Structure formats: C-alpha cells, structure tokens
Amino acid sequence: MAESFAKVAVSDVTYWVDRPYDYRIPEQLDGRVQPGMRVVVPFSRANRRTEGVVLSVSESCGYEKVKCVDEVLDETPPLTPEQLQLALWMRERFFCTVYEAVRAILPAGLWFRPDGKRRAADKTEEFAALLLPAGEAMDMARAKKSRAPVQSELLKLLCAAGEVPTADLRELTGASRQSLRALADAGAVELFRREVFLRPRFIPDTISPLPELSADQSAAFTGLERLLGKDSAEAALLFGVTGSGKTTVYIHLIDRALRSGRSAILLVPEIALTPQMLETFSAYFGEKIAVLHSSLSITERYDEWKRVKNGSAQLVIGTRSAVFAPVENLGLVIIDEEQEETYKSESSPRYHARDVAKYRCAETGSLLLLGSATPDVESRYLAGMGRYAFFQLGTRYNRMDLPQVRVVDMKRELRAGNNTSISSFLREELAENISRGEQSILFINRRGASKLITCVDCGYNFKCPNCSVSLTYHSSNRRLMCHYCGYTRTVAERCPDCGGELSYVGDGTQKIETQLRELFPGTEILRMDTDTVSAAGSHDALLGRFRDERIPIMIGTQMVTKGLNFDDVTLVGVLSADQSLYCGDYRAAERTFSLITQVIGRSGRASRPGRAVIQTFTPDNQVIRFAAMQDYEAFYRQEIELRRVQKCPPFTQVITLSATGVDERLVLGCCKRICKLLQRALMSRQWVNILGPAPYPVVRVNNRYRYKISLACPQEREVRALVSKLLIYCNTEKEFRGVSLYADMNPYD
C-alpha cells in the first residue's frame, strides 16, 4: 500500500515559523485524513501534542524522516476547499498565521476544551412516528381503549400529528416510557433520534409579501438585478440618504438571489442593529434566515452555523464574522453601513470584512453590494472611477424632508454662563418634544460621568498606573475606571497631593443623564452605552423599551447613531461634535461627518418632520457645516483632494508596523531599525512615504509601550512580502527579544 502524507498548518505557532509541516498518515488512519480536517500531531523537539488543520494530502514527501499524525479530531471536514484557500489568502494579506485565519472562519463551538470535549455538542431529540397506516392505527387504538387507554391515546395523537417528540407525547398524554416502548415493540410506532438546533427566537407566524418599491428604489433594484444575473463577479455602491429605503432594495435583491437558487449574506456593523434587521427580514424570509453574531451563546452560534452548512438557511444576517458563513452557492453579499469601523478586526487576523467579501465574491462570481448614507471615501472614489457600479437614492422613501439642522456655538453658551453640555436651545427643543409626546435621541461618544477628575489648586489628576491615560469617573458606582485595561479605584474626597478641592472635567453619558434628570424631573430617560448593554440580548431589550414604552429621551454613544428606525423620534442632539474631529488620524474628518450625518438621520423618519441640533466649539469648521447640510458630495469633493495631496488611501495603501514591549527604549530601537530597512529597500520607489517611529495616542497600555511606523505606498504584493520579512526578522532577532511586532493593513487608529 502506498504511503500518504499530509501537509498540516499547526496551531500555537508564531507568524515567523508558520508554514505547512509534513506528517505521515499511519495505516490505521489511512482514508480518514482529508483536507479541511483537524488533527493532533507531535510538534517541536519535545513532540508536544498539538492541534493542526490538514491543508492537503499526497503520496509523496520531500523529507526522509517524517513524524506521524496521532489523531483525527473531525468525522467530516469542517473546512471546505474554498475556505482553506481563503485561510491561505488571509495569511498573505493580513500577516497572520493560517490557524489564526481558521479560528476566525470556524465558530467557537467547534473548538475543543482542555478536557478534549467540544465547546458545543450536537444535540438530538427523540421522536415517535407511526409505522402503520392511519386506518390500522385507529383500529388498534379502539381495540386498546379499554385495556391500555394510555397507548390508545398515544396512537390517536400520532394519527393526527404524525411525527412528534416523545417528550411532548408524554406530557400531552401522561404516558410512561414503558407505554411508548410497548407500541414500538408491537411494530406500531418507530422511536428514533433527530438532530435539533438551539435557535434565537425571531421567526414570525406568517410570511409577508415583499414591500413595494418607489420609483427611485425600483430604478436601483433594476440595475442591481442586472448585475446579480451576470456570471462574473460584480461590485456596486448604493448611496442613499438616511431614510431613503435601502433596506427595501436589499429585501428585493435577496429575494431575487434566493429564487434563483443562490444564497446571500447581509452584514450589519453593530449587534444593536441585528434585532431590528431580523425582525424586518424574517417577515419576508422566515426559516431561511440564520443569524451569526457574538451576543448569541456558543451553542446558538454553532447550531446556526450548522444550519447554514447543511443548506437549511440560505440567508445569513450578522456582524463582521458572518462574512465567513459556509453558505452554498453564494450569490450576493450586502454590507450595510459599509463605512463603519466595526467591520475591521482589531486582533489577529486583522481583516476587514469588506476585503474578505471582495475575495469571496471574486472566487464565486457573486455580487458585492455596499450600502450607506455616508459611504467610505475609498468606496465612493472607486465608484467614481467606474470600479464599482453606482446607484443613488436621493430622497426619503416617504418623501419626507431631511431634518432641519441648527448648529449651536458652545462658546457663546459658556459666555452666557451655561457650563453644562445641554445648550439653552437644545433644552427648549427637548422641552417642546416632551410636551408633544415625541421622542428625542442625544448622542455623545463618551461613556462614564466625567473624562477626568483634577485638582483646582495643583492640577493633579488621577491616572491609570498601567496606562498613560487619566481615569474616567463613573457615577453609578462612584469609581474611577481605565477604559483600556479595566483598572478601577475609589474616588478620594480631596486631592491626594495637596488636599485641594477636586473638579470633575468633561461629560460622558452618565453625566448627561444626570443633567437631563435635573432639567426634566419626572421624565423617564434611557441610557445606551457599553455599561448598560453588556449582557446578551440587552441591546434588543433597551431598544424595545424605547419603542414600546415611548420613553421621551434616549442618550447614547455610537450605538444610537445608525440603523435605528423609530416613528416617534423627531429630535436628535449631537452634544460634542468636535470630539472626534481633531484626533490626528487621516480618517478623522470622514468619521466625524459620518457620525453626525447618521445620527441626524434618526430624526423625522415617519410622518412628522424632524429637527437636529449640533453643538460645537468650532461652528465654522467645514466638516461640521457639510454635516449640518447633510451634503455628502460636497464633503467628498473636499476630502478626496486632501487625500490626494496627503497620499492617503484610496491613492495608496497604508501598512502600519506596530511594536510593543515593556522596555520603551528597546521598542523605539526596534522601530528605528525597521525605518532604516524600509528606507533602504524602498528608496527607488515613487509614491512611498515612511512615517515614524511615532507613539500611539495612548502610548502605554497594560504597562506595554506602543510605537508604530506607517508605510504609505501603492498596493503591491512585493511590498507586503517585504513587510512579512521584516516581521520575521524583528521577531527572531535576539537584540529585540521582548518586543512584539505586528502589521496591519489600512488600520483605523
């Protein structure tokens, strides 16, 4: 018998030693080892039992001495050949190991605990079904009525219902296990087990007809349907003002894909948006939907993944990781609010869901649809260059006007003696809304009560001992907290240095909530931030309360800025429009414009006109002005010219090499070495900028210093190969032992 060998990507290895390792398949495992399966292999000189994934199987090997595969962990391959190729592509693109990519692709429930058991087990339930024709079964039931009345009732129920879970049968009839077994022994009933799925509850009782399309929506859908019908991969951008009905276009396009026998994936940026999306889409697609996001339990996510893999669900709705859903015959991927940063992973693999979606669509000949009221500048540029098809919805679906916006200069408020975060104009607008029984949403992108506490005499402020940031005060538990490492401490009554009086500076959601309760006593106020929605399902519960109980005011962070649709919201307030504008990131203007425009769009979406108030210390800033006018095209024209001058994306790609370590001098030394090597290797290339070493805005986190080098250059495979070599060099160089180096494509920090 010919020998077989497997190429295995091993877990728990670093990027610089990650490669396929050859292993012999022993005779007892011959035929069981297939590509896409996970195995246990001896690894390293110590032959440590290590998990790995089989990349390929062949009958030849380039080495004489080869270790053997110890154990096969899967009965069938959880990874398809296409997913293996995706993992290899992610390694090259995002500077991660193959196994890190595999861990992103597969659900957590498929992985194993230290005791060797899977984190989520397959669940089965016992069913009973008639083996006799219904007529014969009824005759048997009548014959048993006097001497075995319970068995008679079981037969009657099975005649009426067909297959029934045995637990339900016993509950409805009071039958014992022995009664069921007696019918099975008599050949009247079959007892068998069937796999069941633990599912989130969102399926409606009836399926609704598709919503009607307006003239604008119909024009966009017709063009997108034409792209969907092509055999080749296509990409399109759907640009629609807030409330223009992009979701209705999605529904019709998904229906078209499903009716043609293809599957679809719909990505949303926030878990908070998933319940509303599920409620909307399940009304039209029912059991065809699977939902994948991190608020589900491990078992729920695993069961939903299995439904997708076995073809029971053809439409997947979820957050970033849902882009890896193992759908069969993929035809359509929709990324809603495609400009959002939450589509970018902050840990390895540092992928962007849009990039993965592009790859999957290119490989399967599918349509990628990006939708937004404030598209990513790069996406809008590609649409203008003809790389993406471009469709536009210029008016709201109900023909209502966009909200009327008032910009309030907070410097004047300070001069008038108002040192709160609620301007006099916004206070009057809130009071008017409360009196009319209408709802309001206030947005400030900072949680907690105060940004910092400082001494008015000596300037002392409470800093985190592990990070280079001030501690944030949380009034709910009267503690100071670091939002980076989680360190907390109690608040001192006086300054620890001089005993002076302490001043609370900067407002967060908790402080705004307190101010609102003082301004409007007796008025119910809802707060939505990561402190109030930490529990699973709490997003849905809070939003449900706001809608059903018609709570007058909701104050929140970015969670309230997008995708929410409430008929009674007629006022939106942006409390600190400048907060994200001056952070030093080339995306700062785009991020600020998008946040303001998106949250303004929550107002006046039904029959009543909407208003919005933008509070700012720089009312003449062009970004603030464009956002107030909700003029994306004017903002885009200004921003794209700035990007062109600065040689920023979309005219280049940005690769950031980040070094971290406990020794700041060593971290800086590593960064300087990288800069020299980059300059030497790329000195002859045009359109290459090397910036750094530069500290992160928060240079120390968890007692580790963080510095970065930014490389702006054209998108070339050779540059990525150079970066890969630098990662391997610096992480293996003894001189820089203790320094960790990683690379990120087009980061958001």
Q: Residue 213: its pLDDT value, please?
A: 93
Q: Give residue 448's pLDDT band: very low, low, confident or very high (50, 70, 90).
A: low
Instruction: Determine the Cα–Cα distance for residues 350 and 328; give it in Å rounded to an integer.
Output: 25
Q: What is the pLDDT of residues 450-508, one digit of tens each?
A: 677 888 888 888 899 999 988 888 877 788 889 889 899 888 888 888 888 888 777 78
Q: Residue 300: its pLDDT value, please?
A: 83
3-state secondary structure of 449: coil
Residues in contact with 690: Cβ distance below 8 Å, sequence separation at least 6, in sequence order: 675, 678, 679, 682, 709, 710, 711, 712
Considering Cα of 182, then 188, then 194, then 199, what sign does the dihedral take?
negative
4-106 — its CATH code?
3.40.1440.60
Residue 354 CA: distances (Å) to CA of 214, 341, 602, 652, 691: 28, 11, 25, 17, 26
Residue 625 CA: distances (Å) to CA of 606, 634, 717: 25, 10, 40
Q: What is the average pLDDT score of the chain?
A: 88
Q: Residue 619: its pLDDT value, please?
A: 92
Chain-centroid distance, C-alpha 25: 39
Instruction: Determine the Cα–Cα distance for residues 695 and 707; give it in Å rounded to an integer.
Output: 4
Report whether 478 contacts 490 (CB < 8 A).
yes
Q: Percent of the chain scored above 70 by pLDDT? A: 96
Q: How long, in residues, is the chain?
A: 749
User: Given a cut of 80, is residue 449 above it in pLDDT?
Assistant: no
What's the mean pLDDT in 628-655? 93
Q: Residue 202: its pLDDT value, please?
A: 62
Q: Give residue 559's pLDDT band: very low, low, confident or very high (50, 70, 90).
A: confident
User: Given a cut of 60, is residue 535 above it in pLDDT?
Assistant: no
User: Given a cut of 70, is residue 537 above it in pLDDT?
Assistant: no
Q: Percent of the chain scored above 90 by pLDDT? A: 53
404-447+508-643 — its CATH code?
3.40.50.300
What's the mean pLDDT in 126-141? 82
Using left for φ > 0, alpha for ψ between -120 and 50, and beta otherwise, residue 145 falls in: alpha
Alpha helices in 56-165 (DSSP H): 81-94, 98-105, 134-144, 149-161
Instruction: Determine the Cα–Cα distance for residues 63 and 554; give it in Å rounded to an integer.
Output: 66
CATH class of 215-249+257-393: alpha beta
User: Given a cut of 90, is residue 412 above it in pLDDT?
Assistant: yes
Report whether 553 contacts 526 (CB < 8 A).
yes
User: Given a cut of 80, is residue 731 above it in pLDDT?
Assistant: yes
Instruction: Supply 678's token pair.
Output: 């980059």
How are beta strands 704-713 and 367-372 bridged, if at all? unpaired
Q: Residue 525: its pLDDT value, please?
A: 93
Q: Residue 538: its pLDDT value, please?
A: 66
H or E segment and range at residue 511: helix 509-519
User: Given a cut of 80, is residue 199 above it in pLDDT?
Assistant: no
Q: Which comes out higher in pLDDT, residue 144 or 628?
A: 628
For the chain, how long is the longest CA-to-CA vector?
A: 98
Question: Mutual orientation of helices 377-384 and 632-646 as an angle, nearest 10°?
Answer: 90
User: Given a cut of 90, is residue 146 above it in pLDDT?
Assistant: no
Residue 361 CA: distances (Å) to CA of 266, 322, 329, 730, 745: 13, 14, 11, 35, 20
Q: Give residue 558's pLDDT band: very low, low, confident or very high (50, 70, 90).
A: confident
Cis-peptide into 650, omega within 30 deg: yes
Q: Give residue 221's pLDDT band: very low, low, confident or very high (50, 70, 90).
A: very high
Chain-centroid distance, C-alpha 435: 38
Q: Residue 563: its pLDDT value, please?
A: 67
Residues in contact with 554: Cβ distance below 8 Å, sequence separation at least 6, in sequence order: 439, 440, 441, 442, 525, 526, 527, 528, 546, 560
What's domain 653-745's superfamily in CATH? Ribosomal protein S10 (3.30.70.600)
Q: Give residue 121's pLDDT band: very low, low, confident or very high (50, 70, 90).
A: low
Q: What is the pLDDT of residues 315-374, one digit of tens each?
A: 999 999 999 999 999 999 999 999 999 999 988 999 999 999 999 999 999 999 999 999
